[in-house]
């Protein structure tokens, strides 16, 4: 059986204002699996991703990422070297003066020799289709280009687990297609929080349906998305076109 890359057990978290974002959340993600986290706003999707990157500390329960229990601050810092996080808004993520600096930021923080860091940055820029963008100013790029720079800045760290928070949010159709292709072709373990059902069907093998801070249902992506009643019970709406897409995929009818 494949290695477990992420295991959340009875995970709970509350923000300082008292909002309970996660309450007893359980999830297991194995190596090379691509999981979608779907659910209404406030279901706890982003919080789960932040916990998995060691950016938040659970109030109770346990989270194990790539074999590390994330039980102390040192482990929480160390895990970030092996996990890549794409934030929902690229403007939160991009802050360097040039695209190259942005993509180098992670590898240099991991104290890699300059030539290795540069080679990784070049490879990540190539993967993201950003060759020739090295000297461009990230803040002046289009939404789709910014998102690709953000992806490249994560890929340059050569992560073993990728966490994406709504990667197709606010993108124009072309930018969205480019990001979908990029995600489809990445042979890595992924956890993607999204409202984009097409992304789920194209990229993800599994879905965790979240509601009120816990995983209400999980399983193969087409099976979960085909269950209209289940989606509605968790505050989601099955788009009218989805059954046709699922039929095309040979799933539910």
Partner 1 sequence: MDIRLESHSTLESPVHRWDPALKMVGFGLFILALAALLHVHAILMGMAASILLARAAGFSLTQVASRVKWIFFLLLPLYLLLPLRVTLGGDTPIVVGWSKEGLVLAGVISLRAMAIAVAIFPMWGTAPLHVSLRALSALGVPDVLVQLVLFTYRYLFVYFDQFHRMRLALAARGFSPGVDARSFRVYGSQVGMLLVTSYEQAERVLAAMKSRGYDGRIRTLETPKRELSDWGKLVLLAALSTLLVIGDRLWLG
- Name the residues that contact partner 1, by CB under 8 A: 50, 53, 55, 77, 80-81, 83-85, 87, 89, 91-93, 95-98, 101, 104-106, 108-111, 114, 117-118, 135, 139, 153-154, 157
Pick between residue 11 and residue 117 the one whose CB is nearest to partner 1.
117
Q: In degrees, to the nearest 5, what angle opens at C-alpha 176 toward C-alphas 173 and 181?
A: 125
Q: In degrees, to the nearest 5, what angle opens at C-alpha 188 toward C-alphas 28 and 65?
A: 40
Pick between residue 153 and residue 211 the one whose CB is nearest to partner 1.
153
Tell the smallest beta-carbon distance from residue 175 to partner 1 (Å): 20
Is-contact 191 47, C-beta < 8 A? no
Pick between residue 106 and residue 175 the one whose CB is nearest to partner 1.
106
- Compute the distance between CA of residue 96 and CA of residue 94 in angstroms, rounded to an integer: 6
Tell the smallest beta-carbon distance from residue 235 to partner 1 (Å): 24
Pick between residue 140 and residue 250 the one whose CB is nearest to partner 1.
140
């Amino acid at each position: 059986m494949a290695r477990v890359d992420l295991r959340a057990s009875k995970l709970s978290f509350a923000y300082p204002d008292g909002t309970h974002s996660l309450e007893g959340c359980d999830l297991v993600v194995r190596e090379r699996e691509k999981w979608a986290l779907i659910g209404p706003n406030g279901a706890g999707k982003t919080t789960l991703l932040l916990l998995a990157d060691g950016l938040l500390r659970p109030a109770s329960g346990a989270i194990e990422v790539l074999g590390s229990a994330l039980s102390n601050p040192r482990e929480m810092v160390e895990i970030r070297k092996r996990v890549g996080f794409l934030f929902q808004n690229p403007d939160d993520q991009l802050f360097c003066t040039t695209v190259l600096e942005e993509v180098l930021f992670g590898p240099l923080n991991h104290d890699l020799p300059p030539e290795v860091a540069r080679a990784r940055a070049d490879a990540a820029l190539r993967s993201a289709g950003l060759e020739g963008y090295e000297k461009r100013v990230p803040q002046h790029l289009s939404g789709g280009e910014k998102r690709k720079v953000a992806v490249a800045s994560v890929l340059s760290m050569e992560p073993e687990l990728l966490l994406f928070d709504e990667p197709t949010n606010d993108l124009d159709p072309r930018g969205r297609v480019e990001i979908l292709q990029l995600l489809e072709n990445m042979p890595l373990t992924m956890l993607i929080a999204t409202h984009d059902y097409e992304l789920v069907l194209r990229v993800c093998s599994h879905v965790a349906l979240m509601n009120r801070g816990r995983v209400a249902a999980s399983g193969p992506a087409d099976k979960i998305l085909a269950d209209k009643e289940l989606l509605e019970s968790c505050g989601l709406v099955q788009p009218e076109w989805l059954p046709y897409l699922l039929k095309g995929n040979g799933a539910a009818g």
